[in-house]
Amino acid sequence: MKIKISKNNNIITTVEEWSQFAPPKAKEKHWKDGRSAKSLAQFMTDKNQVKKLEDILVELKYNTNGVISCTPEANTVLPCKGNGRNHDLLMIGEDFVVGIEAKVSESFGKTISKERVGASKNKKDRIYILAKELFGRKIKKDSDGDLKLKYQLLTGVYGTLREAVNNKKPKALFLVVVFTDGITREDDNAVNRNNDDFKNFCQQIGLSAEGGTICKSNVDLTIKKVEISLKSEI
């Protein structure tokens, strides 16, 4: 599998170049050993590690021929005014789009219900549109599962789906990559909470708790979570 990582016409082949050309927001806080931003850069610039990602794409029967374009910190415009979806990494291949959300123990952020508190009309409208697209309905205020839905997962999955539509690709994968090397005992509660949040989102969209594939906007949308150790080889 051939990948080309770039940001604003700058080719990225090393962790140092990733840090220089495509640092995460609040770099001083997030660019650290054992945390998700730097771990993703280490993963994607190591050919042996990238083979793990290739295996996932091949298993899903994605066409990995040709050069796969990869953009760190890619932004997808979302409906209504406001910030777009910031992908940790966006990949565009022959017949697919992949939106990667990297984690160690970092949370999926606030619930949708908390995001709505004091929110502008634009944001409330955005939540309605995204929920309608993904769930086929608005968020239910009396549903325990809906109240626990995380806004980052809503925008992440929608943003990945929208990129597939915009690029006329029939397949889309929203992939949560959990880098296990940086997880400590103190992180156990946070990791378990993330697992619960992921499972709840999958179930609310109509999949099993472990994820799966569902057709949305004429795109085969797959939601998947994998654990990766940078210390292990294929």
Q: What mean pLDDT is predicted for residues 37-56?
A: 97
What does the pLDDT look like over 129-144, one tens digit per residue? 999 999 999 888 777 7
pTM of the model: 0.95
Q: With H, G, I as helix, E, B as strand and everything else as coil, classify residue 64.
A: coil
**Both structure tokens of 134:** 């993904």
Contact by Cβ (8 Å): 111, 102: no
Q: Please report the pLDDT score of residue 116 as a whole number.
A: 86
Q: Please report the pLDDT score of residue 233 as a whole number.
A: 67
Beta strands in 93-170 (DSSP E): 96-103
Question: Confidence band (pLDDT; 50, 70, 90) for 234?
Answer: low
What does the pLDDT look like over 63-97, one tens digit per residue? 999 999 999 999 999 999 888 999 999 999 999 99
